[in-house]
Amino acid sequence: MFLGKTIDDELYEELEELLIQSDIGMDMTMEIVADLEKQVAKKRLKASQDVYEELKELLKSKLVYNTEENTKLDIQNGRLNIILVVGVNGVGKTTSIGKIAKKLKDEGKKVIIGAGDTFRAAAIEQIEEWGKRTGVEVVKQSHGSDPAAVVFDTVKMAKNRNFDVAILDTAGRLHNKRDLMKELEKINKIIKEKSGNDKFETLLVIDSTTGQNGLEQAKIFNEIVDLTGIILTKFDGTAKGGIIFPITNELKKPIKFIGVGEGIEDLRKFDSKEFVEAIFSD
Ligand SMILES: Nc1nc2c(ncn2[C@@H]2O[C@H](COP(=O)(O)OP(=O)(O)O)[C@@H](O)[C@H]2O)c(=O)[nH]1
Ligand SMILES: [Mg+2]
Protein backbone atom coordinates (compact mmCIF):
# COMPACT_ATOMS: atom_id res chain seq x y z
CA MET A 1 0.00 0.00 0.00
CA PHE A 2 2.96 2.31 0.39
CA LEU A 3 4.66 1.20 -2.78
CA GLY A 4 6.12 3.79 -5.09
CA LYS A 5 5.20 6.81 -3.02
CA THR A 6 7.31 9.90 -2.55
CA ILE A 7 8.87 10.18 0.88
CA ASP A 8 7.39 13.45 2.01
CA ASP A 9 5.28 14.94 4.77
CA GLU A 10 2.19 13.48 3.21
CA LEU A 11 3.57 9.97 3.53
CA TYR A 12 4.47 10.53 7.17
CA GLU A 13 1.01 11.91 7.82
CA GLU A 14 -0.52 8.86 6.21
CA LEU A 15 1.56 6.58 8.42
CA GLU A 16 0.68 8.65 11.47
CA GLU A 17 -3.00 8.32 10.65
CA LEU A 18 -2.65 4.57 10.27
CA LEU A 19 -0.98 4.22 13.67
CA ILE A 20 -3.57 6.37 15.40
CA GLN A 21 -6.39 4.40 13.83
CA SER A 22 -4.78 1.22 15.12
CA ASP A 23 -5.14 2.58 18.68
CA ILE A 24 -1.42 2.98 19.27
CA GLY A 25 -2.22 6.34 20.83
CA MET A 26 -1.06 9.85 20.10
CA ASP A 27 2.09 9.85 22.25
CA MET A 28 3.55 6.64 20.97
CA THR A 29 2.56 7.44 17.38
CA MET A 30 4.45 10.74 17.57
CA GLU A 31 7.44 9.01 19.09
CA ILE A 32 7.49 6.29 16.44
CA VAL A 33 7.06 8.65 13.50
CA ALA A 34 9.81 10.94 14.82
CA ASP A 35 12.11 7.93 15.15
CA LEU A 36 11.13 6.83 11.68
CA GLU A 37 12.06 10.17 10.15
CA LYS A 38 15.44 9.99 11.88
CA GLN A 39 16.11 6.47 10.68
CA VAL A 40 15.07 7.30 7.12
CA ALA A 41 17.51 10.23 7.07
CA LYS A 42 20.28 8.25 8.72
CA LYS A 43 19.93 5.25 6.42
CA ARG A 44 19.23 7.46 3.41
CA LEU A 45 16.17 5.46 2.48
CA LYS A 46 14.74 6.42 -0.89
CA ALA A 47 11.90 3.97 -1.57
CA SER A 48 8.60 4.19 0.30
CA GLN A 49 8.64 0.40 0.65
CA ASP A 50 11.85 0.69 2.70
CA VAL A 51 10.29 3.35 4.90
CA TYR A 52 7.39 1.06 5.50
CA GLU A 53 9.73 -1.84 6.41
CA GLU A 54 11.61 0.48 8.76
CA LEU A 55 8.32 1.39 10.43
CA LYS A 56 7.59 -2.29 10.99
CA GLU A 57 11.00 -2.72 12.61
CA LEU A 58 10.35 0.26 14.88
CA LEU A 59 6.99 -1.18 15.90
CA LYS A 60 8.59 -4.53 16.62
CA SER A 61 11.23 -2.82 18.73
CA LYS A 62 8.39 -1.55 20.94
CA LEU A 63 7.44 -5.15 21.69
CA VAL A 64 10.83 -6.22 23.03
CA TYR A 65 9.41 -7.58 26.28
CA ASN A 66 7.54 -10.16 24.30
CA THR A 67 10.32 -12.65 23.90
CA GLU A 68 9.57 -16.35 23.52
CA GLU A 69 10.56 -16.82 27.15
CA ASN A 70 8.48 -13.93 28.54
CA THR A 71 5.29 -14.72 26.68
CA LYS A 72 5.21 -18.27 28.07
CA LEU A 73 3.05 -19.03 31.09
CA ASP A 74 5.17 -19.78 34.13
CA ILE A 75 4.00 -23.31 34.86
CA GLN A 76 6.37 -25.50 36.79
CA ASN A 77 6.14 -29.19 37.46
CA GLY A 78 5.87 -30.51 40.98
CA ARG A 79 4.14 -27.54 42.52
CA LEU A 80 0.79 -25.81 42.49
CA ASN A 81 0.82 -23.02 39.91
CA ILE A 82 -1.62 -20.16 40.33
CA ILE A 83 -3.05 -18.00 37.59
CA LEU A 84 -5.00 -15.00 38.88
CA VAL A 85 -7.03 -13.26 36.18
CA VAL A 86 -8.00 -9.61 36.59
CA GLY A 87 -9.53 -6.86 34.49
CA VAL A 88 -12.65 -4.76 34.19
CA ASN A 89 -16.08 -6.22 33.57
CA GLY A 90 -16.81 -7.63 30.13
CA VAL A 91 -13.25 -7.73 28.77
CA GLY A 92 -13.22 -11.53 28.51
CA LYS A 93 -11.75 -12.81 31.78
CA THR A 94 -14.09 -15.78 32.24
CA THR A 95 -13.92 -16.75 28.57
CA SER A 96 -10.11 -16.58 28.59
CA ILE A 97 -10.01 -18.73 31.73
CA GLY A 98 -12.10 -21.36 29.95
CA LYS A 99 -9.71 -21.35 27.00
CA ILE A 100 -6.58 -21.48 29.20
CA ALA A 101 -8.06 -24.31 31.27
CA LYS A 102 -8.67 -26.27 28.08
CA LYS A 103 -5.17 -25.61 26.78
CA LEU A 104 -3.48 -26.67 30.04
CA LYS A 105 -5.69 -29.71 30.37
CA ASP A 106 -4.77 -30.76 26.84
CA GLU A 107 -1.14 -30.46 27.91
CA GLY A 108 -1.87 -33.03 30.61
CA LYS A 109 -2.11 -30.69 33.56
CA LYS A 110 -4.50 -31.19 36.43
CA VAL A 111 -6.46 -27.95 36.45
CA ILE A 112 -9.01 -26.43 38.81
CA ILE A 113 -10.92 -23.15 38.51
CA GLY A 114 -12.02 -20.84 41.34
CA ALA A 115 -15.23 -18.90 40.67
CA GLY A 116 -13.91 -15.69 42.23
CA ASP A 117 -16.44 -13.42 40.57
CA THR A 118 -19.12 -13.67 43.22
CA PHE A 119 -20.43 -10.22 42.40
CA ARG A 120 -22.21 -10.61 39.08
CA ALA A 121 -25.30 -12.80 39.34
CA ALA A 122 -24.67 -14.95 36.26
CA ALA A 123 -20.90 -15.18 36.70
CA ILE A 124 -20.89 -18.43 38.65
CA GLU A 125 -23.11 -20.27 36.16
CA GLN A 126 -20.97 -18.94 33.33
CA ILE A 127 -17.75 -20.30 34.78
CA GLU A 128 -19.47 -23.59 35.64
CA GLU A 129 -20.50 -23.86 32.01
CA TRP A 130 -16.85 -23.49 31.01
CA GLY A 131 -15.97 -26.08 33.62
CA LYS A 132 -18.34 -28.56 32.01
CA ARG A 133 -17.12 -27.76 28.53
CA THR A 134 -13.49 -28.31 29.50
CA GLY A 135 -14.02 -31.09 32.03
CA VAL A 136 -12.41 -28.95 34.69
CA GLU A 137 -13.67 -28.79 38.25
CA VAL A 138 -14.95 -25.44 39.50
CA VAL A 139 -14.84 -24.35 43.14
CA LYS A 140 -17.62 -21.94 43.99
CA GLN A 141 -19.63 -20.33 46.74
CA SER A 142 -22.94 -18.56 46.56
CA HIS A 143 -23.49 -15.28 44.75
CA GLY A 144 -22.43 -12.36 46.94
CA SER A 145 -19.98 -14.31 49.10
CA ASP A 146 -16.43 -13.14 49.79
CA PRO A 147 -14.23 -13.79 46.73
CA ALA A 148 -11.25 -14.26 49.03
CA ALA A 149 -13.07 -17.20 50.62
CA VAL A 150 -13.49 -18.80 47.19
CA VAL A 151 -9.78 -18.30 46.56
CA PHE A 152 -9.03 -19.84 49.95
CA ASP A 153 -11.17 -22.92 49.17
CA THR A 154 -9.76 -23.30 45.67
CA VAL A 155 -6.12 -23.11 46.67
CA LYS A 156 -6.65 -25.38 49.65
CA MET A 157 -8.39 -28.00 47.57
CA ALA A 158 -5.82 -27.70 44.81
CA LYS A 159 -3.01 -28.22 47.31
CA ASN A 160 -4.67 -31.15 49.07
CA ARG A 161 -5.45 -32.94 45.86
CA ASN A 162 -2.19 -32.17 44.08
CA PHE A 163 -3.49 -30.08 41.25
CA ASP A 164 -0.94 -28.57 38.89
CA VAL A 165 -2.77 -25.34 38.16
CA ALA A 166 -5.48 -23.29 39.85
CA ILE A 167 -7.01 -20.53 37.73
CA LEU A 168 -8.82 -17.83 39.66
CA ASP A 169 -11.57 -15.69 38.21
CA THR A 170 -12.29 -12.27 39.71
CA ALA A 171 -14.90 -9.55 39.43
CA GLY A 172 -13.66 -6.47 37.65
CA ARG A 173 -15.22 -3.71 39.65
CA LEU A 174 -13.20 -0.65 38.88
CA HIS A 175 -15.70 1.97 40.03
CA ASN A 176 -14.18 1.89 43.48
CA LYS A 177 -10.42 1.60 43.33
CA ARG A 178 -10.02 1.32 47.09
CA ASP A 179 -12.43 -1.62 47.32
CA LEU A 180 -10.83 -3.36 44.39
CA MET A 181 -7.43 -2.82 45.93
CA LYS A 182 -8.52 -4.23 49.26
CA GLU A 183 -10.17 -7.21 47.62
CA LEU A 184 -7.14 -8.03 45.47
CA GLU A 185 -4.71 -7.51 48.35
CA LYS A 186 -6.65 -10.00 50.43
CA ILE A 187 -6.73 -12.48 47.55
CA ASN A 188 -2.99 -12.06 47.00
CA LYS A 189 -2.27 -12.68 50.65
CA ILE A 190 -4.36 -15.85 50.70
CA ILE A 191 -2.76 -17.17 47.53
CA LYS A 192 0.73 -16.67 48.96
CA GLU A 193 -0.10 -18.18 52.32
CA LYS A 194 -2.06 -21.15 51.04
CA SER A 195 -0.09 -22.05 47.95
CA GLY A 196 3.34 -21.49 49.43
CA ASN A 197 4.31 -19.65 46.24
CA ASP A 198 5.35 -16.05 46.42
CA LYS A 199 5.43 -15.73 42.67
CA PHE A 200 2.47 -16.56 40.51
CA GLU A 201 0.89 -15.40 37.30
CA THR A 202 -1.39 -12.39 37.51
CA LEU A 203 -2.80 -11.73 34.08
CA LEU A 204 -4.59 -8.56 33.11
CA VAL A 205 -7.24 -8.95 30.42
CA ILE A 206 -7.54 -6.07 27.96
CA ASP A 207 -10.27 -5.86 25.33
CA SER A 208 -8.79 -4.71 22.02
CA THR A 209 -11.98 -2.85 21.17
CA THR A 210 -11.60 -0.58 24.21
CA GLY A 211 -9.06 1.68 22.54
CA GLN A 212 -7.15 4.20 24.61
CA ASN A 213 -9.05 3.38 27.79
CA GLY A 214 -7.13 0.12 27.87
CA LEU A 215 -3.94 1.97 28.81
CA GLU A 216 -5.71 3.65 31.73
CA GLN A 217 -7.01 0.28 32.94
CA ALA A 218 -3.54 -1.24 32.65
CA LYS A 219 -1.98 1.57 34.70
CA ILE A 220 -4.56 1.25 37.47
CA PHE A 221 -4.34 -2.53 37.76
CA ASN A 222 -0.57 -2.40 37.59
CA GLU A 223 -0.60 -0.16 40.65
CA ILE A 224 -2.89 -2.51 42.54
CA VAL A 225 -1.44 -5.92 41.71
CA ASP A 226 1.88 -7.34 40.61
CA LEU A 227 0.96 -8.10 37.01
CA THR A 228 3.00 -10.73 35.19
CA GLY A 229 1.37 -10.41 31.79
CA ILE A 230 -1.49 -9.39 29.58
CA ILE A 231 -4.18 -11.19 27.64
CA LEU A 232 -5.50 -9.20 24.70
CA THR A 233 -9.02 -10.31 23.77
CA LYS A 234 -11.44 -9.72 20.88
CA PHE A 235 -8.64 -9.49 18.38
CA ASP A 236 -10.91 -11.25 15.87
CA GLY A 237 -12.89 -8.10 15.07
CA THR A 238 -11.80 -4.97 13.29
CA ALA A 239 -9.79 -3.68 16.25
CA LYS A 240 -6.06 -3.65 15.60
CA GLY A 241 -5.18 -3.82 19.27
CA GLY A 242 -2.50 -1.16 18.89
CA ILE A 243 -3.12 -0.17 22.50
CA ILE A 244 -0.80 -3.05 23.34
CA PHE A 245 2.20 -0.96 22.23
CA PRO A 246 1.83 1.75 24.87
CA ILE A 247 0.65 -0.81 27.46
CA THR A 248 3.54 -3.22 27.10
CA ASN A 249 5.98 -0.29 27.04
CA GLU A 250 4.56 1.45 30.05
CA LEU A 251 4.17 -1.70 32.15
CA LYS A 252 7.15 -3.58 30.76
CA LYS A 253 5.07 -6.75 30.87
CA PRO A 254 4.61 -9.31 28.10
CA ILE A 255 1.45 -10.35 26.29
CA LYS A 256 0.78 -13.96 27.18
CA PHE A 257 -2.24 -14.66 25.00
CA ILE A 258 -4.45 -13.22 22.31
CA GLY A 259 -8.17 -14.02 22.25
CA VAL A 260 -9.48 -14.42 18.73
CA GLY A 261 -13.09 -15.47 19.25
CA GLU A 262 -15.66 -16.75 21.69
CA GLY A 263 -14.86 -20.43 21.14
CA ILE A 264 -12.82 -22.72 23.34
CA GLU A 265 -9.92 -22.96 20.88
CA ASP A 266 -9.80 -19.23 20.13
CA LEU A 267 -6.64 -18.49 22.05
CA ARG A 268 -3.30 -17.74 20.40
CA LYS A 269 0.22 -17.20 21.50
CA PHE A 270 1.49 -13.68 20.96
CA ASP A 271 3.77 -13.23 17.98
CA SER A 272 5.33 -9.78 17.52
CA LYS A 273 5.86 -10.20 13.80
CA GLU A 274 2.28 -11.29 13.11
CA PHE A 275 0.97 -8.59 15.38
CA VAL A 276 2.84 -5.85 13.55
CA GLU A 277 1.76 -7.26 10.17
CA ALA A 278 -1.88 -7.12 11.32
CA ILE A 279 -1.57 -3.36 11.86
CA PHE A 280 -1.05 -3.02 8.12
CA SER A 281 -3.70 -5.45 6.95
CA ASP A 282 -7.18 -4.28 6.12
N1 LIG B 1 -15.19 -12.01 19.62
C2 LIG B 1 -14.68 -12.28 20.82
N3 LIG B 1 -15.47 -12.26 21.90
C4 LIG B 1 -14.92 -12.53 23.10
C5 LIG B 1 -13.54 -12.85 23.25
N6 LIG B 1 -13.31 -13.07 24.56
C7 LIG B 1 -14.49 -12.90 25.20
N8 LIG B 1 -15.47 -12.57 24.33
C9 LIG B 1 -16.88 -12.26 24.61
O10 LIG B 1 -16.95 -11.10 25.43
C11 LIG B 1 -18.05 -11.18 26.33
C12 LIG B 1 -17.57 -10.97 27.76
O13 LIG B 1 -16.73 -12.05 28.12
P14 LIG B 1 -16.54 -12.54 29.63
O15 LIG B 1 -15.56 -13.65 29.58
O16 LIG B 1 -17.85 -12.82 30.25
O17 LIG B 1 -15.90 -11.24 30.29
P18 LIG B 1 -15.56 -10.95 31.83
O19 LIG B 1 -16.67 -10.10 32.35
O20 LIG B 1 -14.27 -10.21 31.82
O21 LIG B 1 -15.46 -12.26 32.53
C22 LIG B 1 -18.68 -12.55 26.10
O23 LIG B 1 -19.78 -12.42 25.25
C24 LIG B 1 -17.57 -13.35 25.42
O25 LIG B 1 -18.06 -14.37 24.60
C26 LIG B 1 -12.71 -12.85 22.05
O27 LIG B 1 -11.49 -13.09 22.07
N28 LIG B 1 -13.35 -12.57 20.88
MG1 LIG C 1 -16.44 -12.94 34.17
Q: What is the CATH number of the domain that holds 14?
A: 1.20.120.140
- CA-CA distances (angstroms) from residue 119 to 109, 123, 125, 203? 29, 8, 12, 20
Do 167 and 73 contact (CB within 8 A), yes or no?
Answer: no
At residue 232, the 3 state secondary structure works out as strand
On the question of pLDDT at 1 being above 90, the answer is no
In this structure, which residue's CA is closest to atom 10 in ligand 1? Answer: 92
Percent of the chain whose pLDDT exceeds 70:
99
Q: Is 261 in the pocket of ligand 1 (CB under 6 A)?
A: yes
Same-domain check for residues 15 and 85: no
Residue 2: band (very low, low, confident or very high) from pLDDT cuts 50, 70, 90: low
- CA-CA distances (angstroms) from residue 227 to 138, 152, 198, 244, 256? 24, 20, 13, 15, 11
In this structure, which residue's CA is closest to atom 17 in ligand 1? Answer: 92
Same-domain check for residues 57 and 114: no
Q: Ligand 2 centre from 273 Cα, in Å?
A: 30
Instruction: State which amino acid sits at residue 126.
Output: Q
Is 276 part of any domain?
no
Q: Is 242 in the pocket of ligand 1 (CB under 6 A)?
A: no
- The number of folded domains in the chain is 2
Q: Ligand 1 centre from 262 Cα, in Å?
A: 6
Q: Is 260 in the pocket of ligand 1 (CB under 6 A)?
A: yes
Is 145 part of any domain?
yes
What per-residue confidence (pLDDT) applies to 22?
94
* pLDDT (tens digit per residue) in 167-194: 999 998 776 788 888 999 999 999 999 9
In this structure, which residue's CA is closest to atom 1 in ligand 1? Answer: 261
Q: What is the CATH number of the domain that holds 248?
A: 3.40.50.300
Q: Is 95 in the pocket of ligand 1 (CB under 6 A)?
A: yes
Report the distance separating Cα 231 and Cα 217, nearest Å.
13
* pLDDT (tens digit per residue) in 6-47: 889 999 999 999 999 999 999 999 999 999 999 999 999 999
Is 147 part of any domain?
yes
Same-domain check for residues 16 and 98: no
Q: Is 262 in the pocket of ligand 1 (CB under 6 A)?
A: yes
